[in-house]
Amino acid sequence: MRLHSITLLLLSGTSTSVLAQEAPVTAGPARDVVRDQERDRESAEAGAPSEIVVTARRRTETAQNVPIAISVVDSGQIDNTGSFNVGRLQQLVPTLQFYSSNPRNTAVNIRGIGVPFGLTSDGFEQGVGIYVDDVYYSRVASATFDFLDVAQIEVLRGPQGTLYGKNTTAGAINITTNQPTFDFLGKAEASIGNLDFKQVKAAVSGPLSDSIAARLALSATSRRGTIFNVTSGNWINEQDNIGLRGQVLFQPRDDLAITLTADYSSQNPECCGTVYVRTGATQRALNRQYAALAAAQGYTVVSTDPFARLTDLDSELNSGNKLGGGSIKVKWDVGPGTLTSVSAWRFWDWKPANDRDFTGLPIVTQSQNPSQQDQFTQEFRYNYTGSRFDFVLGAFGFYQRIDTQGTTRHGAASSRWNINPSNPLANDASVLDGVTAYNTQWLKSTSLAVFGQASLKVTDALTVQPGIRVNYDKKSGYYDRTVFDGQGNPVLFGQTDPAKLAQLAIFSPQRSETEFGGWNLSYDLTLSYRLARDILAYATYAKTFKTAGINQNGLPADAAGNPILSAGTIKPESVNHYEAGIKAQFWGRRATLNLAAFRTGIEDYQATVSNGQFGVLRGYLANAEAVRSQGVEADLSIRPSERFSAYASGAYTDATYREFADAPCPPELSGGAIAGPGQTPSAPGTPGGISPANCDISGQRLPGVSEWSFSYGAEVNAPATLLGQAGQIYLGYDGSYRSNFSSNPSPSIYTWIDDYDLSNIRVGFRHDDGLNIYAWVRNAFDTEYFEQLSVAPGNVGLIAGQPGDPRTYGLTIALKF
């Protein structure tokens, strides 16, 4: 950790995973939260924060009473730190990992597990569930959108399948938006900054009649890109987001609330491009590695310094992305409990364009896989809360259809780049120029489940909490790829013309259809014991599953170019999870300390792998025999008075492949002749060497996981008057640190991302009546870091990357009325 971060960490004090300062106000029937009134009065008089109210267990309760490792971030923390999407949220929640090369290829993991790191396939499930107002978002692309009128975010760590509609093997992100109110209120916010940053947010809420209230919210964000493309003359990787949400609450009587919600969001940036980072020696022949291939075509990259933020990508770039839907939520107090119904439809349209060769040469001139998704969900829940016994029973139905139409085309530089220079065809640009693969695919997915969790208070101190889930999943998929040469003639197996064989080495026609269905049973047991009034200890065991998957993006091919059909499906994951923790408050509840230790073992872990073939650009899915994630987490927050607060959260995560004996090899062990019987593979990076058919990466770290991660911050304020109005001036700091991590599914010496730390600073004035004006600096020390590194296809040794944001600064004015 760099010196300035160590100093600021010491100054900021310590922390918490519970970052929120107050609970959101919601409309509709809700049960009272039981509190110790006398202790609350004492805490309030000392300036301690109010209790943080959560709905993690599908009922309203305080966060410190929930025997789950949970991080809570409120709207104020989101605004203060500029955490306007899940990607920014990981700077506040150390155990959350977010990786995105574009919205479709986005991964959200908790404790290093959830979804495979790398290019995304439609054919597998998300291990981290994203819920907005109880509606499940099946596409993790939704995590790249701006948060819209959010009241609070709860990040639940560990399996949550006995509480939530869709099975979640790694955790859940539970987002609650502000709800319609019967009192008129509103808020507006505007921000400007460098890089032409502009952002506006607004929301208004109020009654339409005695029983109907409505709320309307919108947000818009734009920012110039952070990389300059000398080929197009444009700044790329920009932000261009618009979001709109409308809600109508119908509350004809106190025990019934019906909420209708509709939302729409769009992104249309010129994104997502990469910069040259480095080259690394592979086991290809030396004249077929990057330096020789580039020299043969007289190509020189625009800059070898990635933080010059220059690129020369020559293909169209686009990241068009639309997402939205509608829902009806009914809450009805029935007898001793509450019945909830959530019906929802959501859509997602994706219109991308990429440069998949990562160079300014016309090798791959078009690469796009536009897709359209529709999903329908229905959830029923019945919650009962009693003095000694609570429970939730639920049923969940899910249907999804995804259609994709892909096009990948090679250009004039492809022949000399991909055909062996000793072959005369390498000098004939027409051989591969215009070779095009079209793929059509669809996926249908159905999931049905019943689930429940009970909480029995055996004594005043001991509570037993069992849970169970029965799940049925069915998936069917279709994939068809056709290939044509530059003159529009089909490229088929059985053709003997040398040019056709060269084209088949780039793309081969494929067709596959897969269908499966299966049941699984999940269960968990939590014991919690109140050691003292403000100290809760808990221990959990959970057995859960992630359903089987389908390879939807093309299959690896054998030596003859035929698809390996056995790779069409992957086995379900089997998860065993153990966790123990302590939640404590002390110093008159001015301080909160939460500790957790966990160990998660996964058999048949679903991994994304790549074998370097152009025909498998997106990678494919495979099972690693065993994976384990274990670690410890600590969260501490203090608020000794209303003038000062501080937090710090830290996590140590040891996430490794326990057994993966036949994994694809990293680039330094790829590209050579495959070792035959009795042959010994060459040392890594030996040009023209002998490559192993597969590599044993057992014991190596999972991609994307830092062993150490921290977030920390503090805020101090003082009474002040501005323009005759009483308020507070304040100074705030938020920092985060991540140790190094691998950016390739099979760890490579070329794709480790170094440790980095980020610092955000804000200074401003809050008016007691709702005005907040502040200046902010993010990445204040202009740290140079990568969000992700990528290995170029073809085993040429090129490594490209996406630099993280440079220092940004600006001004925000917010008003509540």
Here the tokens at position 38 are 């006398």
The pTM of this model reads: 0.90
Q: Per-residue confidence at 182, pLDDT binned at 50, 70, 90?
A: very high
In the predicted structure, residue 728 carries a pLDDT above the cut 60: yes
In the predicted structure, residue 183 carries a pLDDT above the cut 70: yes
Handedness of CA 221, 222, 227, 232 (dihedral sign): positive
In the predicted structure, residue 809 carries a pLDDT above the cut 60: yes
The parent domain of residue 660 ranges over 3-816
In the predicted structure, residue 141 carries a pLDDT above the cut 50: yes
Residues 768-776 have a mean pLDDT of: 91
Residues 721-740 have a mean pLDDT of: 93
Residue 60 exposed, middle or buried by CB count within 10 Å (0-12, 13-18, 19+): middle
In the predicted structure, residue 318 carries a pLDDT above the cut 70: yes
Handedness of CA 455, 457, 461, 462 (dihedral sign): negative
The amino acid at 278: R
Contact predicate 547/574, CB 8 Å: no
Question: Higher confidence at residue 458 or residue 92?
Answer: 458
| pLDDT confidence of residue 20 | 44
Question: Higher confidence at residue 547 or residue 123?
Answer: 547
In the predicted structure, residue 136 carries a pLDDT above the cut 50: yes
Over residues 203-214, the pLDDT tens digits come to: 999 999 999 999
Q: Per-residue confidence at 119, pLDDT binned at 50, 70, 90?
A: low
In the predicted structure, residue 792 carries a pLDDT above the cut 70: yes
| pLDDT confidence of residue 48 | 44
Q: 28-42, 87-101, 213-227 — which is least confidently predicted? A: 28-42
In the predicted structure, residue 96 carries a pLDDT above the cut 60: yes
Residues 738-745 have a mean pLDDT of: 94
Residues 448-476 have a mean pLDDT of: 96
Helices (H), 271-391: 290-296
Over residues 413-434, the pLDDT tens digits come to: 999 999 999 999 999 999 999 9
| pLDDT confidence of residue 585 | 96
Encode 15-37: b = buried (16+ Cβ within 10 Å), e = exposed: bbbbbbbebbebbbbeeeeeeee
| pLDDT confidence of residue 21 | 39
Here the tokens at position 272 are 């997502």
Instruction: Express as a percent the part of the chain with pLDDT over 70.
Output: 91
Over residues 371-423, the pLDDT tens digits come to: 999 999 999 999 999 989 999 999 999 999 999 999 999 999 999 999 999 99
Residues 611-617 have a mean pLDDT of: 43
Q: Per-residue confidence at 620, pLDDT binned at 50, 70, 90?
A: low
| pLDDT confidence of residue 10 | 35
Q: 132-136, 374-378, 613-617, 742-746 — which is least confidently predicted? A: 613-617
In the predicted structure, residue 749 carries a pLDDT above the cut 80: yes
In the predicted structure, residue 19 carries a pLDDT above the cut 50: no
Residues 735-751 have a mean pLDDT of: 95
Question: Higher confidence at residue 83 or residue 221?
Answer: 221
| Contacts of residue 141, Cβ cutoff 8 Å, sequence gap at least 6 | 103, 104, 106, 321, 323, 348, 350
The overall average pLDDT reported for the chain is 89
| pLDDT confidence of residue 54 | 77
Contact predicate 566/593, CB 8 Å: no
In the predicted structure, residue 569 carries a pLDDT above the cut 90: no
Q: 180-184, 765-769, 796-800 — which is least confidently predicted? A: 765-769
| pLDDT confidence of residue 26 | 39
Q: Per-residue confidence at 619, pLDDT binned at 50, 70, 90?
A: low
Count structural domains, the chain: 1
Residue 79 exposed, middle or buried by CB count within 10 Å (0-12, 13-18, 19+): buried
Residue 630 neighbours by CB distance under 10 Å: 17
Q: 187-191, 333-337, 469-473, 621-625 — which is least confidently predicted? A: 621-625
Here the tokens at position 499 are 């040019």
Return d(Cα 16, Cα 648) in angstroms, integer: 5
Residue indicated by tokens 């809570």: 72
Phi, psi of 11 (to 5 degrees): -70, -35
Over residues 238-292, the pLDDT tens digits come to: 999 999 999 999 999 999 999 999 999 999 999 999 999 999 999 999 999 999 9
| pLDDT confidence of residue 35 | 35
Here the tokens at position 471 are 């799940």
Q: Per-residue confidence at 609, pLDDT binned at 50, 70, 90?
A: low
CATH number of 786's domain: 2.40.170.20
| pLDDT confidence of residue 561 | 63
Contact predicate 694/705, CB 8 Å: no
Question: Higher confidence at residue 739 or residue 496?
Answer: 739
